[in-house]
Amino acid sequence: MMKKLEMNCLILVIAVAAVGIPACFGQNISRASFPKGFVFGTASSAFQYEGAVKDDGRGPTIWDKFSHEFGKVIDFSNADVADDQYHLYDEDIHKMKDLGMDAYRFSIAWSRIYPNGSGEINQAGIDHYHKVIDALLAQGIQPYVTLFHWDLPQQLQDRYNGFLNPQIINDFTAYAETCFKEYGDKVKHWITLNEPHTFAVQGYDVGLLAPGQCSILLHAFCRVGNSATEPYIVGHNLLLAHASAVDVYKKKYQPKQKGRIGISLDSFWYEPASGSQEDIQATRNAIDFNLGWFLEPLIKGDYPSSMRSRVGERLPRFRKEQSMMLRGAYDFIGINHYTTWYAKKNSTNIIGVLLNDSLADSGAITFPIALGKPVYERANSVWLYIVPDGIRSLMNYIRKEYGNPTVIITENGMDDGNNPFTPMKEALKDVKRIKYHQGYLKSLNEAIKDGCNVKGYFVWSMLDNWEWGAGYTSRFGLYYVDYKHNNQRYPKDSVAWFNNFLKS
Q: Are 136 and 104 in contact (CB under 8 A)?
A: yes
Residues shown for the chain:
504
Give the residue from 233, 406, 255 showing the smallest Cα distance to 333: 406
DSSP calls for 351-369: HHHHH-SHHHHT-EEEES-
Which ranges constitute the DSSP H helices of 17-122?
A: 46-49, 62-67, 85-99, 110-113
Which ranges constitute the DSSP H helices of 366-450?
A: 389-402, 424-427, 431-450
* DSSP for residue 35: P
Question: Which of 50, 195, 296, 467 is the catalytic position?
Answer: 195
DSSP calls for 179-217: HHHHHTTT--EEEEEE-HHHHHHHHHTB--STT--B--T
What's the CA gap between 227 and 249, in Å, rounded? 33
296 carries an active-site annotation = no
What number of other Cβ atoms are within 10 A of residue 223's Cβ?
Answer: 10
What's the CA gap between 125 and 130, in Å, rounded? 9
- Biggest CA-to-CA distance, the chain: 66
Amino acid at residue number 6:
E
Alpha carbon dihedral 397, 398, 403, 409, in 10-degree steps, equals: -150
411 carries an active-site annotation = yes
Question: Which of 50, 230, 296, 411 is the catalytic position?
Answer: 411
What's the CA gap between 460 and 479, in Å, rounded? 11
* DSSP for residue 264: E
Active-site residue set: 195, 411
